[in-house]
Amino acid sequence: MIPRYSLPEMAVLFTDEARMGLWLEVELLAVEAWANLGVVPAEAAAACRSRAPKVTAELVAAVDERERVTDHDVAAFVDVVQDAIGQPEGSWVHYGLTSSDVVDTALCATLTRAADLLVEAADGLVAVLKARATEHIGTVMAGRTHGMQAEPTTFGAKLALWCLQVDRDRQRLQRARQQVAVGKLSGAVGTYANIDPAVEAHVCGALGLTPVPATQVVARDRHAELLWACASAGATVETIATEIRHLARTEVGEAEEPFGRGQKGSSAMPHKRNPILSERLCGLARLLRGYLGAGLEDVALWHERDISHSSVERVALPDALLLTYYMLRRCTGLVDGLVVHADRMRANLLEASFGLVFSQPVLLGLVAGGLSRDAAYRIVQRDARVAWEERRPLRQVLQEDPEVTVAPEALDEAFDVSRSVRHVHRFLDALQAVP
């Protein structure tokens, strides 16, 4: 992922140094496990640990140079590590292992740590949404369907629903984390033919992973599940960002992104305050979904393994995790700093619609007064059109219509916005279960 969308705490997990550092730890833990079993001399295992090279940029470069000869990255890594440790002790490195034992176990350890960061980021977004939902539970605004004003709602209700959705994403991330927190050191086709299962148990236990049955590779449905959780979280962020973009439009003007001192919205037009972060997040969600497709394609491999998944994962997994983390963190800042124009929300609801948003309670009042539903519907539909075309309040048009027999006090109730939002506390009640 390009640096623009890479936050350092996640990016550091996917450096070459971090990757090979985990490879080395898997190798050393395996040697120590063999020593526990009496296969490797204890002094040889201690020498491997004490003389193991530091994983630096120089070691990475040495492995890259060696790979030009081996055309195999793990084989090149093992050669360089064995040379650094020296013989005969270095010969115990990679004893009984196949490349996937090292690579897959190290990768799962990395993905587990990355998933922890994602859950933490989701925690932050949930907390901000919960706080702002509470703040704006009584901020009335127009609910919209098909982009058109429908009936009154509150901005807090909207925020609460987003909070509940992010919480579901958090749960998906937690479940996906459990699925990738696994490892395998069971040899070439997963049968433990040349390795004791105790070695696998020791290495996985030290890394906080659970040993699982496998072929030569850990099953890739686990990785695909993590990518699905990432794509789902991205879709939720896109939902929030899309709504903010709509509310920020000049004609709506109900919310706007935070605008920093010295910020410029346009290189040409000084008045512009464009919703650039929301737009960016929507674009990144598209990219994120593409990685899910790639991850699903990686599930089906030939027989006990092939490497068609490998090249895909080198790009898709780091990029997807970096993007998801970036999006969750940036969305948290967006919601936290969002400027809410409550007066404009109320004006758009009560004035710009000429009261059309109260058509349903008027309809119900006419039905309660004895009219058939269709007859009542046609009357309100007709009067609503008159109100819109003549730019007059719907209530005034209704009062002038001799077919409308609803009592004035019933109209008062129908056009009372507090009636429409009298149950919004239920949204806050639902948030009480969200940790």
Count of helices and strands (H, E) across the chain: 18, 6
145 pairs with which residues across the strands? 148
148 pairs with which residues across the strands? 145
Over its length of 435 residues, how does the chain's per-residue pLDDT go in tens digits? 889 999 999 999 999 999 999 999 999 999 999 999 999 999 999 999 999 999 999 999 999 999 999 999 999 999 999 999 999 999 999 999 999 999 999 999 999 999 999 999 999 999 999 999 999 999 999 999 999 999 999 999 999 999 999 999 999 999 999 999 999 999 999 999 999 999 999 999 999 999 999 999 999 999 999 999 999 999 999 999 999 999 999 999 999 998 888 888 888 888 888 999 999 999 999 999 999 999 999 999 999 999 999 999 999 999 999 999 999 999 999 999 999 999 999 999 999 999 999 999 999 999 999 999 999 999 999 999 999 999 999 999 999 999 998 888 889 999 999 999 999 999 999 999 999
- Give the distance, in angstroms, between the CA of residue 393 and the centroid of all CA atoms in the same chain: 44
CA angle 191, 196, 197 (to 5 degrees): 75
pLDDT on residue 195: 97
Whether the bond between 270 and the residue before it is cis, its omega within 30 degrees of 0, is no
Domains in the chain with CATH codes: 1-95 (1.10.275.10), 99-189+213-254+271-350+421-435 (1.20.200.10), 356-414 (1.10.40.30)
Q: What is the dihedral of CA 162, 163, 167, 169, to 10 degrees?
A: 30
354 touches 393 (CB < 8 A): yes
115 touches 176 (CB < 8 A): yes
Distance CA 75, CA 93 (A): 11
Which strand (E) or helix (H) includes residue 420? helix 417-420
pLDDT on residue 259: 85
Question: For residue 400, which phi and psi values (nearest 5 degrees)?
Answer: -85, -10
What SS3 string covers 264-327? CCCCCCCCCCCCHHHHHHHHHHHHHHHHHHHHHHCCCCCCCCCCHHHHHHHHHHHHHHHHHHHH
Write the CA distances from 123 to 76, 159, 304, 333, integer angstroms: 41, 15, 38, 13
Query: Which residues are CB-contacts of 239 (< 8 A; sequence separation ≥ 6)?
Result: 162, 165
Write the CA distances from 276 to 172, 241, 338, 357, integer angstroms: 28, 10, 13, 31
Only one residue has tokens 């090249």, namely 311
Task: Count CB-CB contacts under 10 A for residue 299.
Answer: 14
Distance CA 380, CA 401 (A): 10
Distance CA 317, CA 337 (A): 30
pTM over 0.85: yes
Contacts by 1-8, CB closer than 8 A, 24 or more apart: 1/318, 1/319, 1/322, 1/323, 5/284, 5/322, 5/323, 5/326, 6/322, 6/326, 7/322, 7/325, 7/326, 7/329
CA angle 89, 110, 335 (to 5 degrees): 160
Helix residue ranges per DSSP H, 71-193:
73-85, 99-135, 155-180
Question: For residue 307, which phi and psi values (nearest 5 degrees)?
Answer: -115, 25
**Catalytic residue numbers?**
146, 266
